[in-house]
Amino acid sequence: MPPQRTGFLSGRIGSPPMADVLHAVEAALFLVIASGVEAPVSCSSASATVVECGSRGVVALQADGSVMLPGRLRVDRSRADAIRISNGVEGWRGATGWISFSNGLSVRREQGRWRFSGGLSCVQVGTDRGACR
C-alpha cells in the first residue's frame, strides 16, 4: 500500500502534504486539471518524488512541497482551502464535496477513486501507477 498522506489525495485540499511522496494518481490528476481537458492519462512512479506520464511528461515533487508539471507549471498546495497552478488555475472545495476549478473542471473523491464531473475517473493502480480514463 502506498504511504499515506494528507492534502489533495486525502480529500482535504491544500492540507500540509507529506513533503517526500508524490503518488502517480496525484500526478495524473494535476495534469488533467492543469490542461483543463478531461483526457486519459497514465503515470508510473520513477521514484518517491518523480512520476513519468508518457507523452504528457514528467511530474516532480519539489523540496517545498509544491509539484512541478511539464512546461514549468507549478502546483501550490500549501493553503488549507485552495490549490493554485501557476497557469492561473485555482481550485476550491465546495459544500457538496466537489473541488471546483477556475477552468471549469470539477472533481470529487468517490469510493477509492477521483471522478471528474464530465465522467473521467482516476485511480491509483498498485503502489506505483495511476490512471485517468
CA distances from 99 to 19, 40, 69, 76, 123 (A): 22, 19, 20, 15, 17
pLDDT given for residue 6 in this prediction: 39
pTM of the model: 0.86
Residues 6 or more apart whose Cβ sits within 8 Å of residue 39: 32, 120, 132
The ranges of the chain with pLDDT < 50 are 1-7, 9-18
Give the span between the Cα atoms of 118 and 75, in whole angstroms.
22
pLDDT given for residue 80 in this prediction: 66
75: left (phi over 0), alpha (psi -120 to 50) or beta: beta
pLDDT given for residue 13 in this prediction: 40
pLDDT given for residue 95 in this prediction: 87
pLDDT given for residue 74 in this prediction: 97
Cβ contact 31:56 at 8 Å:
yes
DSSP conformation class of 5 = -
